[in-house]
Amino acid sequence: MNADKIPDIIIGRLPIYLRALQRMVDKGIQTTSSQELGERVGISAAQIRKDISQFGEFGKQGTGYRIPFLMDKLREILKVDRIWDVAVVGAGDIGHALARYQGFVDRGFRIVMVFDNDQSKVGEQLGEFVVKDTSVMIEELQKADIKVAMLTVPATAAQEVTDMLVKAGIKAILNYAPISLNVPEGVYVQHTDPVTHLQRMTYYL
Amino acid sequence: MNADKIPDIIIGRLPIYLRALQRMVDKGIQTTSSQELGERVGISAAQIRKDISQFGEFGKQGTGYRIPFLMDKLREILKVDRIWDVAVVGAGDIGHALARYQGFVDRGFRIVMVFDNDQSKVGEQLGEFVVKDTSVMIEELQKADIKVAMLTVPATAAQEVTDMLVKAGIKAILNYAPISLNVPEGVYVQHTDPVTHLQRMTYYL
């Protein structure tokens, strides 16, 4: 296994497999096949076998995959066999939704701070967090050694806030703002956007 | 071109290309290459050429793609050369964010209705919408012939509401609830989940 050589597109599918496997475990299913997993995620069995075999031999011909074992391996590969502290920047609607979202538990992430520059929001109780002022953000992120942030500020502010996050040592940004962010090498951005999901479905209508 | 035979995984990349091309046009760029587009979306030039060539010859060897033409073709393929009316079900944080989201304009979608079953929310003004009662949802969706919905209700209610959407004739559901939905053949579900995006980045940290 040479991690550097594995295409990002394969890495992008592993979290989808992990989520589907979790749902199977939740239903009491303990073993699966590439065929069954493929049907659940809409990816061919051959592709799944090929993707997973990049990292080692985690299943057996004929008997398939033992789900808890495969999940452990995927968590290890994706480095979510630990807990990443996450900062939310922007305490608007999406920031609120994320601070209350129950789906982070047991999946490798824990929100620990929420920031906003709007003085009417600073100090507000948001779930279990008190919204902090963006003016102290760089210092707070560095002190807590946070590497992951979710960015939910308006598009007009997104690049400026991103520059602050980079300065603070953030290495992974999930961007909810509808613009492209410029970041230096070694900082990763994923964009989340409802329209790309919708467009993928209208193709079939 | 045989639409039935094109893998869903390719279809899933087209909206990403379309979004990147839009951003180039916004910056005044009128032509591009697979190489340049690839760098912007993190996909190899070879893959982009292969994906696009499934649908026809939209670029020229040496001169690349004329962006407005390629965008028109992608919109046509994805059926977003028209406007799809969309219903939002669930007027919580995410429902609020979607109703106010400016990123739908010019990308093929228009929210036209918002529903909730919480009587304290029904009648509430949400952006330009008045929240309607879920009890009239099936009737209203059928009357307006709506095919696309975004589901932002709690996980515990998501399947029940999905069954109502299917009954109303909805064919595409963007699911924000952290559970798998069961839908009949011919109804499409896309799941949006911040954790899968985060996990894709931690791999590299």
pLDDT for B8 equals: 84
Per-residue pLDDT, averaged over A42-60, amounts to: 88
Q: pLDDT-derived band of residue B106, with 50, 70 and 90 as boundaries?
A: confident
Instruction: Confirm or reject contact between A203 and chain B (CB < 8 A).
Output: yes
Share of chain B above pLDDT 70, in %: 98
Per-residue CA distances from A205 to B13, B140, B182, B186, B187 (Å):
17, 20, 18, 8, 9
Per-residue pLDDT reduced to its tens digit, A12-33: 999 999 999 999 999 999 999 9
> Which residues in chain A are closer than 8 Å to B94, comparing Cβ atoms?
93-94, 97
Q: Cα separation of A16 and A55, whole Å?
A: 16
Element (H, E) at A164: helix A155-167
Q: Which residue of A has its CA nearest to B105?
A: A195
Q: Which residue of A has its CA nearest to B190?
A: A197
Cα A78 from chain centre: 10
Distance from CA of A62 to the nearest CA of B (A): 26
Residue of A8, A9, A195 with shortest CB distance to B103:
A195
Q: Which residue of A has its CA nearest to B82?
A: A202
| A84-89/A64-66 β-pairing | unpaired
* pTM for this entry: 0.87
Per-residue pLDDT, averaged over A40-56, amounts to: 89
pLDDT for A1 equals: 46
Plot region of B193 (φ>0 → left; ψ -120 to 50 → alpha; else → beta): beta
- Of B88, B106, B104, B16, give the one whose Cα is nearest residue B52: B16
Place of tokens 């190899």: B44
pLDDT for A60 equals: 77
Q: pLDDT-derived band of residue A169, with 50, 70 and 90 as boundaries?
A: very high
ipTM surpasses 0.95: no
Q: pLDDT-derived band of residue A200, with 50, 70 and 90 as boundaries?
A: very high
Q: Do A174 and B78 touch (CB under 8 A)?
A: no
pLDDT for B74 equals: 97
Portion 29-68 of A in contact with B at CB < 8 A: 40, 42-44, 47
Per-residue pLDDT, averaged over A87-102, amounts to: 92
Per-residue pLDDT reduced to its tens digit, B9-52: 899 999 999 999 999 999 999 999 999 999 888 788 999 999 99
Q: pLDDT-derived band of residue B111, with 50, 70 and 90 as boundaries?
A: very high
